[in-house]
Amino acid sequence: MDIEKYIRNIADFPKKGVIFKDITPLLNDPQAMRYATEQLLKLVGNQKIDKVVGMESRGFFFGTVIAQELNAGFIPVRKPGKLPYDKVSQEYALEYGSDILEIHADAILPGQNILIHDDVLATGGTAEAVCKMVEKMGGNIVQFNFLMELTFLNGREKLKNHQVMSLLKY
Q: What is the 3-state secondary structure (H, E, C) of 26-60?
A: HHHCHHHHHHHHHHHHHHHCCCCCCEEEEECCCHH
Residue 91 lies in a domain: yes
Q: Mean pLDDT over residues 95-118, rounded?
A: 94
Please give the torsion angle defined by the CA atoms of residues 113, 134, 111 and 70, in that order, rounded to the nearest 10 degrees. Answer: -20
Residue 148 lies in a domain: yes
What pLDDT does 96 receive? 72
Is the CB of residue 56 less than 8 Å from the CB of residue 80? no
Q: How far apart are CA 27 and CA 47, in angstroms?
A: 26
Instruction: Give bridge partners of residue 146 from the DSSP assignment.
Output: 118, 166
Q: How far apart are CA 170 and CA 165, in angstroms?
A: 13
The closest alpha carbon to 131, from 144, 113, 149, belongs to 144
Q: How far apart are CA 41 and CA 153, in angstroms?
A: 25
What pLDDT does 97 receive? 78
Residue 9 lies in a domain: no
Model confidence at 95: pLDDT above 80: no
Give the residue with greater pLDDT, 18 vs 28.
28
Cβ atoms within 10 Å, residue 153: 15
Domain that holds residue 156: 46-169
What pLDDT does 38 receive? 98
Q: How far apart are CA 129 and CA 101, in angstroms?
A: 7
Residue 22 lies in a domain: no
- Determine the number of helices (DSSP H) and then strands (DSSP E) in the chain: 4, 9
| Residues acting as catalytic residues | 58, 95
Does the predicted model carry a pTM greater than 0.85? yes
Residue 151 lies in a domain: yes
What pLDDT does 101 receive? 98
- Residue 93 binned pLDDT confidence (cut-offs 50, 70, 90): confident
Residue 8 lies in a domain: no
Residue 144 lies in a domain: yes
Q: Among 73-82, 89-98, 127-136, which stretch is predicted with the lowest mean pLDDT?
A: 89-98
Residue 163 lies in a domain: yes
Task: Supply the CATH number for residue 163's domain.
Answer: 3.40.50.2020
- Residue 167 binned pLDDT confidence (cut-offs 50, 70, 90): very high
Total domain count, the chain: 1
Model confidence at 120: pLDDT above 80: yes
